[in-house]
Amino acid sequence: MEIHERISAILSHYGLSVNEFVERAGIKTKQAVYDLLHGKTRSISTAMENKILSCFPDINRAWLLTGEGEMLNVTEVVEVTEHGTPVYDLDVTCGGRSRPIVFADEHIIGHVNLPNVSPTAAIIRANGDSMEPHIHDGDWIAVREVKNMNVLYYGQVYVVITDELRLLKYLRRDEDEQHYVILRSENKNYDDIRLAKSEIRHLFIVENILSLHIKL
């Protein structure tokens, strides 16, 4: 499979236009993507590769670079251990429900050792369908708490905690960037949420989306 076919397959799988794909992945110019699609460029740059895999971590790196194998990473069965990244018996909502989240030791159900997943992260479940097909109901996500609210990566997926909500959404820039953010779903059936930054109690960036079956 040639690179233009692989890029087309990604756009088709996620239901994205070139403009949406470029914005989502943080690629500098859409012309770079059009050059790949039209065969003017026959290989993907390292910078674009990293941006695509960061935004769509379920894509198989080997497939993206060579066309060999499956487009999506194969689901793994992972046994919990006593060391590694902690797995919490907690979930975050890809939808409209809400409830508090507490990363307490009593909620740890085990640990897993996975490549490219920091042992200082926390692994929790995603519930609901508002982030499909990017994040599916029941997927596990590795999150890291954001300590500095002034450093936000718009277009990335975050877990947003308020007094009433804990939601898994894309963070988008609001016209009043100093005071508000936009929470956006992948599923177009869900409306955007305009949220005051002052209402955010905790914020976690999603570092990994794990297509795993964790064997407890």
Q: Are residues 86 and 157 in the same domain?
A: yes
Query: Cβ neighbours of residue 211 under 8 Å, at least 6 residues apart?
Result: 58, 72, 73, 74, 75, 76, 139
- H/E element holding 158? strand 157-161
pLDDT at residue 74, as a whole number: 55
* 207 in a structural domain: yes
Containing structural domain, residue 44: 3-66
Are 62 and 146 part of one and the same domain?
no
Contact of 35 with 18, CB cutoff 8 Å = no
The last residue of a domain, from among 13, 36, 66: 66
State which of 45, 66, 87 marks the end of a domain.
Answer: 66
Q: What is the pLDDT of residue 209?
A: 82
Residue 125 is predicted with a pLDDT of 86
Domain end, chosen from 11, 35, 66, is at 66
Indicate if 49 and 94 belong to the same structural domain: no
- Kindly report the CATH number assigned to the domain that includes residue 32: 1.10.260.40
Residue 156 within a domain? yes
Predicted confidence at residue 103, as pLDDT, reads 63
Is 102 a domain residue?
Answer: yes
- 199 CA to centre of own chain: 22
Tally of structural domains, the chain: 2
- Segments of the chain scoring below 50 in pLDDT: 77, 96-98
Would you state the pLDDT for residue 173? 92
> Do 90 and 52 have their domain in common?
no
Q: What is the pLDDT of residue 53?
A: 87
Residues 52 and 149 in one domain: no
Residues 60 and 99 in one domain: no
Residue 113: the pLDDT is 81
The verdict on 9 and 42 lying in the same domain is yes
> Exposed (0-12), middle (13-18) or buried (19+): which is 186, by Cβ within 10 Å?
buried
The answer to the question of residue 72 being in a domain is no
One domain for residues 143 and 192: yes
Domain assignment present for 40: yes
> Do 156 and 200 sit in the same domain of this protein?
yes
Contact predicate 175/112, CB 8 Å: no
Q: Quick one: pLDDT at residue 104?
A: 60
pLDDT at site 1: 82
Check if the beta carbon of residue 86 is closer than 8 Å to that of residue 61.
no
Q: Based on the number of CB atoms within 10 Å of its own CB, is 111 exposed (0-12), middle (13-18) or buried (19 or more)? A: middle
Residue 123 phi, psi (nearest 5)? -105, 125
Other CB atoms within a 10 A radius of the CB of residue 193 amount to: 15
Is residue 65 classed as helix, strand or coil in its secondary structure? helix
Residue 169 lies in a domain: yes
Residues 144 and 105 in one domain: yes
Give CA torsion, residues 133, 136, 68, 35, to 10 deg. Answer: 30
Answer yes or no: do 39 and 136 share one domain.
no
Give just the sign of the alpha carbon dihedral 14, 17, 22, 24. negative
Domain check: are 48 and 89 in the same one?
no
Beta strands in 49-115 (DSSP E): 76-79, 85-93, 108-112
> CATH no. for residue 111?
2.10.109.10
Q: Residue with structure tokens 């009593």? A: 106
Question: Distance (Å, rounded) from C-alpha 3 to C-alpha 132?
Answer: 25
